[in-house]
Amino acid sequence: MDLKIAVLPGDGIGPEISEQGVAVMNAVCEKFGHQVSYQYALCGADAIDKVGDPFPEETFKICMDADAVLFSAVGDPKFDNDPTAKVRPEQGLLAMRKKLGLFANIRPVETFDCLIHKSPLKDELVRGADFICIRELTGGMYFGEKYQDDEKAYDTNAYTRPEIERILKVAYEYAMRRRKHLTVVDKANVLASSRLWRQVAKEMASQYPEVETDYMFVDNAAMRMIQDPRFFDVMVTENTFGDILTDEGSCITGSMGLLPSASTGEHTPVFEPIHGSWPQAKGLNIANPLAQILSVAMLFEYFNLKEEGALIRKAVNASLDANVRTPEIQVEGGERYGTIEVGQWIVDYIKKA
């Protein structure tokens, strides 16, 4: 198979973990006889510094021309600490989602047995947790009408029926491939937008009689994820709730550096780690590359290259079992490995497999 990949390293630790993701992709493509080509593009604070735009038109064209985008992270403290900044790195991420029509964000939350001790939850609560959060990505408050002056500000949380129907369809399709249990998360007791979500979900549930559909207010869902994360199979929700819940879900695994994600929709799909740019770690060779590497696994699986994705997952599990880990998940007294060393170990494993 021939693959054209747009690579957007972005900011902070982005370039470091991106390098390891590309190295793993190269190793897999070499092993399975695929041809892969890359085109690098600017985004985030790096793009603002160089061209004044966090998602330049040239980057958009490169993404549209690619089969998939391997994205890393955006964000920089100089923008975070300036509330008056008119242009921000995160605007590039939102622009990419909107321009590529990436309305569905898929975030798997899966625990690793050898890292259960790193979870803030008790072993008996978290062991075996395995669910998917599906977040609507191009609607809601993040994209609704906004206003701000010195005395008043508002963000509009607007959704249309077609937007809700298409994300629910994605969620039901995932539920059908898994344990056939879908939880629709909203705040229908307070928000009109949520009441439309629940209305549409109830109408669509009859189209998927094999799936058990339940409905949960977002505050209850947040609590249930901590009390009983194994309850969930597939969870679907709107943009703002999804942003919060998916970060909460990631923490129960023990490290945000472990979880990948995919964003799919109308045009080129994007595969990225769920963590941020961690600018404080830039250049220190301590960032965990596993979420980026597992995003490469999701990329292969998107193109139905299941054996390739499975080999990456096997290599990641083997690295964890061998205690080849970056500092935040290393066992006490374990050998020190950096971003580069972990990535190289996984590449070597794939080549030898």
Longest CA pairwise span in the chain (Å): 63
Q: Which residue's entry shows tokens 């929700």?
A: 237
In this model, does residue 33 exceed pLDDT 80? yes
Name the active-site residue from 31, 243, 302, 314: 243
Mean pLDDT of 29-47: 96
Name the active-site residue from 118, 247, 282, 302: 247
Report pLDDT for 333.
86
3-state secondary structure of 286: coil
243 is catalytic: yes
Mean pLDDT of 233-258: 88
Name the active-site residue from 186, 187, 215, 337: 187
Within 8 A by CB and 6+ apart from 286, the residues are 326, 327, 328, 338, 339
Handedness of CA 178, 181, 182, 183 (dihedral sign): negative
- Give 307-347 pLDDT, tens digit per residue: 999 999 999 999 999 999 999 888 888 899 999 999 999 99
- Kindly list the structural domains of the chain, giving each domain's residue range(s) and its CATH number in brackets, ordered by start: 1-100+268-353 (3.40.718.10), 105-256 (3.40.718.10)
- Give 129-179 pLDDT, tens digit per residue: 999 999 999 999 988 999 998 899 999 999 999 999 999 999 999 999 999
Taking CB atoms within 8 Å and a gap of at least 24, the contacts of 139-143 are: 139/103, 139/163, 139/238, 139/239, 140/193, 140/238, 140/239, 140/240, 141/239, 141/240, 142/94, 142/239, 142/240, 142/243, 143/94, 143/98, 143/239
99 is catalytic: no
Whether the CB-CB separation of 63 and 41 falls below 8 Å is answered with yes
187 is catalytic: yes
Higher pLDDT: 249 or 29? It is: 29
Report pLDDT for 118.
81
113 is catalytic: no
In this model, does residue 89 exceed pLDDT 90? no
Report pLDDT for 329.
87
| Banded model confidence at residue 252, pLDDT cuts 50, 70, 90 | confident
Closest CA to 201 of 222, 183, 225: 183
pTM of the model: 0.88
Name the active-site residue from 46, 76, 99, 142: 142
Report pLDDT for 79.
82
Handedness of CA 33, 37, 43, 46 (dihedral sign): positive
Give the single-character DSSP code of 85: -
Higher pLDDT: 249 or 338? It is: 338
- Give 104-120 pLDDT, tens digit per residue: 999 999 888 888 888 88
Whether the CB-CB separation of 225 and 248 falls below 8 Å is answered with yes
> What integer best gives the mean pLDDT of the chain?
93
**Residue 194 φ/ψ, nearest 5 degrees:** -70, -35
Other CB atoms within a 10 A radius of the CB of residue 102 amount to 21
219 is catalytic: yes
Pick from 121-130, 229-238, 265-274: least confident: 121-130
Other CB atoms within a 10 A radius of the CB of residue 84 amount to 4
